[in-house]
Chain A
Amino acid sequence: MTEASLYLLQQIINGLTIGSTYALIAIGYTMVYGIIGMINFAHGEIYMIGSYVSFIVITGLLAIGSFVLPLVLFIALVVAMLIASTYGWTVERVAYRPLRGSNRLIALISAIGMSIFLQNYVALSQGSRDVALAPLISGSVLELGSLETFEVTLSWMQLLIWVVTLVTMTALTLFISRSRMGRACRACAEDLGMTNLLGIDTNRIISLTFVIGAALAAIAGLLLGLYYGVINPFVGFMAGLKAFTAAVLGGIGSIPGAMLGGLILGVTEALTAAYFPSEYKDVVAFGLLVTILLFRPTGILGKPEVEKV
C-alpha cells in the first residue's frame, strides 16, 4: 500500500474508534426521544458519572490487590453500569416524570438544569481538576507499513472499543426486536397513549429506556476513560453534544440511525483533521449536520414524524 492510503486507513481507524463511543452515547438520546419526544440533556452527565465510577473502582481494586486486569475491568464495568443506571432512573423520576404532559420547553429546561446540577455535584464532591489513570491496556494488535514511511497501528484499546461497541449494539438490537419488553418499547415509540390503553405499564417502559441509555453511556464512559486516561467533571458536555449531533444526524428516534450517525460523525472528524488544519474539525462536522438536515430534515434513517391529531 502507498503511504497516502496507509494514512487514510489510519485516520479511518481513529475515526471509527471515536465514532463507536459517540454511537454508544447517542443511543440514550435517541431512545428517550423516540418514546417521549424529549431531549435528555443530562445524558452527557450520566456518561461522565459512568467514567468517574469506573475510575474509582479501577483505582480502588488496583490499590487493594493484584487482580487480573480483565476481572478489574469487568467489575468496573458492572458497577459503573449499575450506578449510572440508578442515576438515569432517578433523573427521570425526579426531573422529568412530574413534568411529562406539560409543555415540551419546560421539560427541556428541567433537563438542562439537571445537567448543570450533576456537573457541579461531581465537581464539588470529586474536585474539578483532571483525574488521570495510568495506561492499563497498551500495545497494538496490528501494524501495517514500515516505520520509514508511515505505519498504521490498531491498538488493543481501539480493538476493545470496537468489540465492546459491536457486542453491545447487537445485544441491544436483539433485545429491542426479539424480547417482550423490546416489543413494548417499540409499541410505546409508536403510540404511547394507545400502548397504555392496551395494558402495558408505560411508566415502567419509559424508566427502562432511561436505564438502558444510562447503562450504555456508562460503557462509553469506561471505554473513553481508559482510552484517554483523563477525565474531569466537564467531559460530559462536549461528549453529550457530539453524541446528540450523531443522534440527530442519523435520525433521532431511530436506533440504527444513532449507530450510523455516530460512526459518520467520528470518521468525518478524523478525516477533516487529516486533510485540513485540525481546527476545522468541528466546523466541518457540524457543517455536515446542517447540510444533511437541509436535505433530510429527519436525519439519514429517521422517519418523517406523523402529526398526531
Chain B
Amino acid sequence: MAKSFKRFSKTLLAAATALTIAGTVQAETLKIALAGPATGPVAQYGDMQKIGVLAAIEYLNANGGINGMDVEGVIYDDACDPKQAVAVANKIVNDGITHVVGHLCSSSTEPASDIYEEEGVLMITAASTSPTITEKGYGMIFRTIGLDSLQGSMAAQYILDTAKPKTIAVIHDKQQYGEGLATVVRDGLKAAGVEPVMFEGVTAGDKDFSALIAKLQKADVDFIYYGGYHPELGLILRQSAEKGLKAQFMGPEGIVNSDLAKIAGDAVEGVLATAPKAFDQNPENAERVKAIEAKGEDPTGPFVFPAYAAVQIMADTIKAIDSTDAMKMAEYIKANTFDTAIGTVKYDDKGDLTESTFLVYQLHADGSKTPAQ
C-alpha cells in the first residue's frame, strides 16, 4: 500500500514537472513556420520571404518579443512543388506549429491551405496571388499581397490606356498562376473591345521558343503579355532579340527577378511588369531596410516587405488579444486594421487585402526597376 502510494506520488511529481516544463517552453518561444521554396528553380523568391520574416522576427526579439515571448522562425522547404507543399503542411501541423508565413507559389499554397484550415493553423501568404486560394471561404487564410486578378486587370487597363498597341498577343505557361493572369488580361482587353490576335500556352521548362517567335513575327505583334515566371520569359526575350522581334513585353511580378536580366541580358531593358510597390523605397521602412542591409541581405525583392508585414500582423494580434490561439487571432485579424511595413492593412471577408499593392514598373538591364509612366 505504502509502496504503491509512493509510486503514485512519483508519477504525479513527474507529471507536474513535465507540465511546468511544457508550460515554460510554450511561454518563452513562439514558433512561426516559414514555408516556401528553399531549393528549386524559384528558390530566390523563397529567399525574399525568408529575409523579410527573419528581419521582422529579429526586430521583435530585440524589442522584448511578443508579450515577453521570443519568436523563432522555422524554415520548411516545399520547393514550390504542390506535392511537397502538402507534406510540409502536414509536418508543420505535426510539429505543433500554428502560425505559418507562406507558402509562396500559388499552386503550393492552395493544397497546403486546405490542411491549415482543417487543422486550425493561421496562414498568411506574402506572395501567392491566385484568387482561388481565398475563394473557398476559409477563415484561417490571409494574404499580404494583392490578388492575381487585380494584377491582371491592372495590366489590361495599362495596355488599354497607356501602351495602346496595335496588335496584342497573350502568352502563358499553362500553370495556375500564369494562365490565370493571362486569362484575366485577355478578358479585360476583350471587354474593352480589343481582341488579342493570339492566346497561347508554352510548356514551362521548355528551352526552344523559336517556333513561337516566328509565329509572333508573322502576326506582326507589337505587344506581348506573358503570364508566367522569369525562366521562360527570359529565354523568350533572349531569342526574340536574336531573331529581331521588336515588341513590347509585359508580365506579372513573377518575372521581376534579377535572374531575368542574367538570362536575357540587354533584352530586358524596357520590359513592363506589374509588381508590388517598392516598399524598400518607402521612407517609413528606412530603418528596416538598413537592418536588412546590415546583414548583407537584399531588401529590394518584391516579397520581402509583405513577408515582414505578415509577421507584424501576427505579432500585433497576439499583443492585442494576449493569446496565441490561431482561431481567435484569425477573428481579430478580420475585424481590425494594422499598421505595417506595407502600409495600412485591412481585410475583407475572404482574407484578401482591400487595397491593391501593385504598380506598373519598367525593368532595366541592370536588374533595377522604375515606375512606368
Residues of A within 8 A of B (CB): 3, 7, 10-11, 14-15, 17-18, 123, 128-130, 132, 134-135, 138, 150-151, 153, 155, 157, 224, 228-230, 232, 234-235, 238, 269-271, 273-274, 277-279, 281-282
Q: Which of B201, B202, B207 neighbours the largest number of chain A CB atoms within 10 Å of its CB? A: B207
Q: In the complex the two chains form, is B217's CB within 8 Å of A278's CB?
A: no
Name A272's closest neighbour in chain B (CB-CB). B211
Of B201, B218, B239, B242, the contact of A3 (CB 8 Å cutoff): B218
Q: In the complex the two chains form, is A14's CB within 8 Å of B43's CB?
A: no
Q: In the complex the two chains form, is A130's CB within 8 Å of B41's CB?
A: yes
Name A237's closest neighbour in chain B (CB-CB). B205
Of B39, B211, B218, the contact of A269 (CB 8 Å cutoff): B211
Chain A CB within 8 A of B84 CB: no
Q: A138-B242, A273-B212, A278-B215 are in contact. Are A230 and B200 (CB under 8 A)?
A: no
B104 to chain A, nearest CB (A): 15
For the complex of A and B, 8 pairs with smallest distance between CB atoms? A273-B211, A14-B210, A279-B201, A132-B262, A132-B263, A270-B211, A228-B207, A10-B214
Q: In the complex the two chains form, is B242's CB within 8 Å of A279's CB?
A: no
Q: A11-B214, A229-B238, A278-B201 are in contact. Are A153 and B244 (CB under 8 A)?
A: yes
Contacts A230-B207, A278-B200 given; 11 further ones with Cβ under 8 A?
Answer: A17-B210, A18-B208, A135-B238, A135-B242, A228-B235, A230-B234, A230-B263, A234-B41, A234-B205, A278-B215, A282-B203
Measured between beta carbons, the chain B residues less than 8 angstroms from A224 are 207
Q: Which of B200, B202, B210 neighbours the largest number of chain A CB atoms within 10 Å of its CB? A: B210
Q: A180 to B195: give the CA distance in the assembly, Å.
A: 65
Measured between beta carbons, the chain A residues less than 8 angstroms from B235 are 228-230
Q: Would you list 11 pairs from A and B whose C-beta atoms are within 8 A, ordered by A residue? A: A11-B214, A14-B214, A17-B210, A128-B39, A129-B43, A135-B238, A157-B242, A229-B263, A273-B211, A274-B211, A274-B214
Measured between beta carbons, the chain B residues less than 8 angstroms from A151 are 217, 244
Q: In the complex the two chains form, is A153's CB within 8 Å of B215's CB?
A: no
Of A134, A228, A234, A277, the contact of B265 (CB 8 Å cutoff): A134
Chain A CB within 8 A of B164 CB: no
Of B41, B205, B210, B212, the contact of A128 (CB 8 Å cutoff): B41
Chain A CB within 8 A of B137 CB: no
Q: A260 to B103: give the CA distance in the assembly, Å.
A: 46
Measured between beta carbons, the chain B residues less than 8 angstroms from A153 are 243-244
Chain A CB within 8 A of B40 CB: yes
Measured between beta carbons, the chain B residues less than 8 angstroms from A10 are 214
Q: A151-B244, A228-B235 are in contact. Are A128 and B265 (CB under 8 A)?
A: no
Chain A CB within 8 A of B277 CB: no
Name B246's closest neighbour in chain A (CB-CB). A147
Q: In the complex the two chains form, is A129's CB within 8 Å of B44's CB?
A: yes
B156 to chain A, nearest CB (A): 21
Measured between beta carbons, the chain A residues less than 8 angstroms from B242 are 135, 138, 155, 157
Q: In the complex the two chains form, is A130's CB within 8 Å of B263's CB?
A: yes
Q: A134-B265, A135-B265, A279-B200 are in contact. Are A128 and B43 (CB under 8 A)?
A: yes
Chain A CB within 8 A of B259 CB: yes
Q: In the complex the two chains form, is B211's CB within 8 Å of A278's CB?
A: yes
Q: In the complex the two chains form, is A270's CB within 8 Å of B210's CB?
A: yes
Name B207's closest neighbour in chain A (CB-CB). A228
Q: Which of B201, B202, B214, B239 neighbours the largest number of chain A CB atoms within 10 Å of its CB? A: B214
**Interface SS of chain B:** helix
Contact with A along B185-221 (1 / 0, CB 8 A): 0000000000000001111011110111011011000
Measured between beta carbons, the chain B residues less than 8 angstroms from A235 are 207
Q: A150 to B219: give the CA distance in the assembly, Å.
A: 9
Q: Count residues on chain B whose CB falls below 8 Å from chain A CBs.
A: 33
Q: A150 to B43: give the CA distance in the assembly, Å.
A: 40
Q: A90 to B370: give the CA distance in the assembly, Å.
A: 51
Q: In the complex the two chains form, is A279's CB within 8 Å of B203's CB?
A: yes
Q: A270 to B174: give the CA distance in the assembly, Å.
A: 19
Measured between beta carbons, the chain A residues less than 8 angstroms from B239 are 228
A114 to chain B, nearest CB (A): 21
Name A143's closest neighbour in chain B (CB-CB). B244
Q: A153-B244, A228-B208, A281-B203 are in contact. Are A7 and B214 (CB under 8 A)?
A: yes
Name B172's closest neighbour in chain A (CB-CB). A279
A283 to chain B, nearest CB (A): 11
A140 to chain B, nearest CB (A): 8
Of B202, B218, B259, B265, the contact of A130 (CB 8 Å cutoff): B259
Q: In the complex the two chains form, is B218's CB within 8 Å of A7's CB?
A: yes
Of A17, A123, A150, A279, the contact of B174 (CB 8 Å cutoff): A279
Q: In the complex the two chains form, is B218's CB within 8 Å of A150's CB?
A: yes
Chain A CB within 8 A of B231 CB: yes
Measured between beta carbons, the chain B residues less than 8 angstroms from A132 are 234, 259, 262-263
Name B201's closest neighbour in chain A (CB-CB). A279
Measured between beta carbons, the chain A residues less than 8 angstroms from B39 are 123, 128
Measured between beta carbons, the chain A residues less than 8 angstroms from B262 are 130, 132
Measured between beta carbons, the chain A residues less than 8 angstroms from B208 are 14, 18, 228
Q: In the complex the two chains form, is B231's CB within 8 Å of A130's CB?
A: yes
Measured between beta carbons, the chain B residues less than 8 angstroms from A128 are 39-41, 43
Name B39's closest neighbour in chain A (CB-CB). A128
B179 to chain A, nearest CB (A): 10
Name B198's closest neighbour in chain A (CB-CB). A277
Contact with A along B253-265 (1 / 0, CB 8 A): 0000001001101
Name A225's closest neighbour in chain B (CB-CB). B207
Q: In the complex the two chains form, is A277's CB within 8 Å of B218's CB?
A: no
Q: In the complex the two chains form, is B231's CB within 8 Å of A230's CB?
A: yes
Q: A153-B243, A278-B211, A278-B215 are in contact. Are A238 and B265 (CB under 8 A)?
A: no
Q: A3 to B239: give the CA distance in the assembly, Å.
A: 21
Measured between beta carbons, the chain A residues less than 8 angstroms from B215 are 273-274, 278
Q: Which of B202, B234, B262 neighbours the largest number of chain A CB atoms within 10 Å of its CB? A: B262
Measured between beta carbons, the chain B residues less than 8 angstroms from A14 are 208, 210-211, 214
Measured between beta carbons, the chain A residues less than 8 angstroms from B218 are 3, 7, 150
Of B201, B205, B207, B217, the contact of A277 (CB 8 Å cutoff): B201
A119 to chain B, nearest CB (A): 12
Q: A150-B217, A151-B244, A279-B201 are in contact. Are A232 and B211 (CB under 8 A)?
A: no
